[in-house]
Amino acid sequence: MLQLIENAHRFADKPAIVDQSVSYSYMDLLDRSEEIAQYLLHDEKDLAQKRVSYMVSPGFGYMAVQWGIWRAGGIAVPLCITYPFPSLQYVVENTGSSIIICGPEYEEILSPFAENSKIRFISLLDFSKIERRELPEIDNSRGAMILFTSGTTSLPKGVLTTHANIEAQVSTLVEAWKWNSDDYTLSILPLHHVHGIINVNSCAMWSGATLQFLPNFDAKKVFEIFLEGKVNVFMAVPTIYFKLIAYYESLPESEQKEISSCLKKFRLMVSGSAALPVSVMEKWYSISGHYLLERYGMTEIGMAISNPYEGKRRAGYIGMPLKGVEVRLCDEADREVASGQPGEIQVKGQNVFKEYWEKPEATSKTFTQDGWFKTGDIAIIEEGYFKILGRDSIDIIKSGGYKISALEIEEVLRKYSGIKDCGVIGVPNEEWGELVVAALVTEKELDLDHLNSWMREQMPAYKTPRKYLIVPDLPRNAMGKVTKNELKKLF
Ligand code: MLC
Ligand code: AMP
């Protein structure tokens, strides 16, 4: 049996999930996910790694579907609930999903799949009890989940992790950050990425903790929930801490005091997915009395490097390798750099993903000959702590904790009538980390409002440019390649 499921049996009567003020026990989650697994299996013994895409709002239903897919032997493919149709279609087709599970809110956007005879389309409301039979035995080496990540190729790649990968990622964090069954955490992050899925939801469920859902981030609501006094563990991206600070600062002193005294009782607060500005760390300390624990990870590897739970958390540093994760810094020829020198972070361990879905070439390119995963992030070690210096590709942008490919956006922009050429870059921004902006070479006058709404029909809002600049030409080097550092200066 999967370890996560085995653990859940130990906590059967404990509250697992709080969703819209309703509390569900671990037994409820086991029962519902078994029902879903049985229904998915239909007349098969094992889904045998069939891909199952699901678009379900964060909450009890989402968790039961994820576990149900795993227990039936399928590969879980969570769909982002804010994707427009073309992005959903890409994920479903790329993974060859033969089953789609649809929350009632998403029936309209997913309706074209319901008409596809090759896809079994199931509404979340359709799941009902069917005759019980043995669920399949799932070997740990089997595929468990595909998440999409943007990279240096224009289209996102599916990252396939096995159950063994996920168990390694989760158990390492549970031990490092001392997750336990008295913990109570708040799930606010999007559930198509590792931060929300692994670090928050899966670690909580592995440990017998309670997971309360807030379907989307809202600073006021987050503080209201905190003030109820149950949450003691909180994880978010730097942009969220920035927004929480801004909201806190807008409150009268009496409310600030109340919030501060409540935050001081938390056990743990973590930041990650993007660099935590020192200013945010300091302000949060003055509000909450907590030095945020900053850690470093990636879709392909879960978490690799973390500041200590006990011991000094250094602002501007991501900490040390987690137990069970091997980390080295290398030069361009994949040779380890001398001590104190900067190099690419390379990672090895059970936590590292299996492959990019149906992309053997991309997979082999991202591993060294001796099996180290090449992250593309450049770091240096100072007094034992890793510090991120940058990335090897200017075409990868991190905004609000989302990884965004400049090339993917450029390709879409070029399809818009009147755009002759374009260059997309990320410009530094305290709130968002980086902001996506685009320089456009046009062949006729453009209505930028129209362009903006058109872009939002093509890709999720978090990927679309925040600012456009019309330029006569893009700066290029002698080889004719756009020099993006020059482009940055224009903004
Ligand atoms: C939203 N907006 C953005 C944006 N997201 N702008 C720039 N960059 C982004 N990423 C815009 C919206 O389009 C909108 O514009 C305005 O900001 C407000 O939008 P919103 O949807 O109300 O924002 P909000 O809900 O407040 O979202 C902010 C956020 C969200 C921080 C909560 O971006 C978020 O959930 N980020 C987390 C991403 C994440 O989980 N990453 C982990 C990846 S895994 P307008 O014009 O419509 O008003 C990983 C590995 C690891 O990285 O190490 O963890
Ligand atoms: P993703 O592909 O969305 O999983 O994003 C992974 C990337 O996020 C990493 O390769 C880093 O570039 C970045 N990242 C994650 N955590 C941190 C951090 N603490 N500091 C700086 N960058 C980070």
Which of 148, 188, 191, 239 maximizes ligand 1 atoms within 8 Å of its Cβ, making it the mutation to test the pocket? 239
Residues near 173 by beta carbon (within 8 Å), at least 6 away in sequence: 179, 198, 199, 203, 302, 303, 322
Which listed ligand is nearest to 149 at the C-alpha?
2
Cα–Cα dist 41/35, whole Å: 10
Q: Are 260 and 288 in contact (CB under 8 A)?
A: yes
**Cα atoms in the Cβ-side hemisphere of radius 13 Å centred on 214:** 19
Ligand closest to the CA atom of residue 397: 2
CA of 335 to the centre of ligand 2 (A): 23
Atom of ligand 2 nearest to the CA of 195: 4
Query: Which atom of ligand 1 is closest in space to residue 239's alpha carbon?
Result: 31
> Given the CA of residue 199, which atom of ligand 1 is nearest to it?
54
- The list of the chain residues with pLDDT below 50 reads none
Residue in 377, 399, 462 to alter for ligand 2 test, most ligand atoms within 8 A of Cβ: 377
Which tokens belong to 251? Answer: 């409150």
CA of 432 to the centre of ligand 1 (A): 8
> Which numbered ligand comes closest to the C-alpha of 315?
2
- In one-letter notation, the amino acid at residue 396 is I
Q: Which atom of ligand 2 is nearest to the CA of 396?
A: 12
Closest CA to 482 of 414, 399, 390: 414
What's the 3-state SS for 108-126? HHHHHHHCCCCCEEEEHHH
Angle between helices 406-413 and 448-458 (to 10 degrees): 120
Residue nearest to atom 35 of ligand 1 (CA): 189
Between the CA of 292 and the centroid of ligand 1 the distance, in Å, is 20
Q: Which residues line ligand 2 (CB under 6 A)?
A: 149, 272-275, 294, 296-299, 318, 375, 377, 388, 391, 398, 403
* Nearest CA, atom 15, ligand 2: 273
Could you tell me where the DSSP H helices lie in 237-318? 238-249, 253-263, 278-288
405 C-alpha vs ligand 2 centroid, how far in Å?
A: 13
- Which pairing describes strands 293-298 and 268-271: parallel, antiparallel, or unpaired? parallel
Neighbours of 210 (CB within 10 A): 27
**Protein residue whose Cα sits closest to atom 34 of ligand 1:** 400
* Residue bearing tokens 């972070």: 345
Q: What is the pLDDT of residue 154?
A: 75
Residues 6+ apart with CB under 8 A from 304: 296, 297, 298, 321, 322, 325, 327, 345, 347, 349, 351, 375
Q: How far does the centroid of ligand 1 lie from the alpha carbon of residue 400, in Å?
A: 5
Q: Tell me, what DSSP letter sits at residue 334? A: S
Instruction: Give distance in angstroms: CA of 191 to centre of ligand 2.
Output: 17
Q: Which ligand is nearest to the CA of 455?
A: 1
Q: For residue 22, what are its two tokens?
A: 């309703």
The Å distance, Cα 303 to ligand 2 centre, comes to 10
What's the token pair of residue 86? Answer: 């073309």
**Model pTM score:** 0.97
Neighbours of 279 (CB within 10 A): 12
Q: What's the confidence (pLDDT) of residue 130?
A: 81
Token code pair at residue 105: 């809110």
Ligand 2 atom with minimal separation from the 149 CA: 2
How far is 477 from 76, CA to CA, in rounded Å? 44
d(CA 195, ligand 1 centre) in Å: 13
In 117-182, at which residue ranges do the beta strands (DSSP E only) sit?
120-123, 143-149, 157-162
Nearest to 200 by CA among 188, 192, 208: 188
- Cα separation, 251 vs 260, whole angstroms: 12
Buried b (16+ CB within 10 A) or exposed e, 415-451: ebeebebbbbbbbebeebbbbbbbbbebeeebeeeeb
Outline where 200-237 has alpha helix (H): 203-207, 219-227
Atom number, ligand 1, closest to the C-alpha of residue 461: 13
According to the model, what pLDDT value does residue 131 have? 81
The CA–CA distances, whole Å, from 270 to 22, 56, 171, 319 equal: 26, 26, 17, 12
Our CA angle for 159, 164, 167, nearest 5°, is 95
The ligand that comes nearest to the alpha carbon of residue 344 is 2
Alpha carbon nearest to ligand 2 atom 23, residue: 274
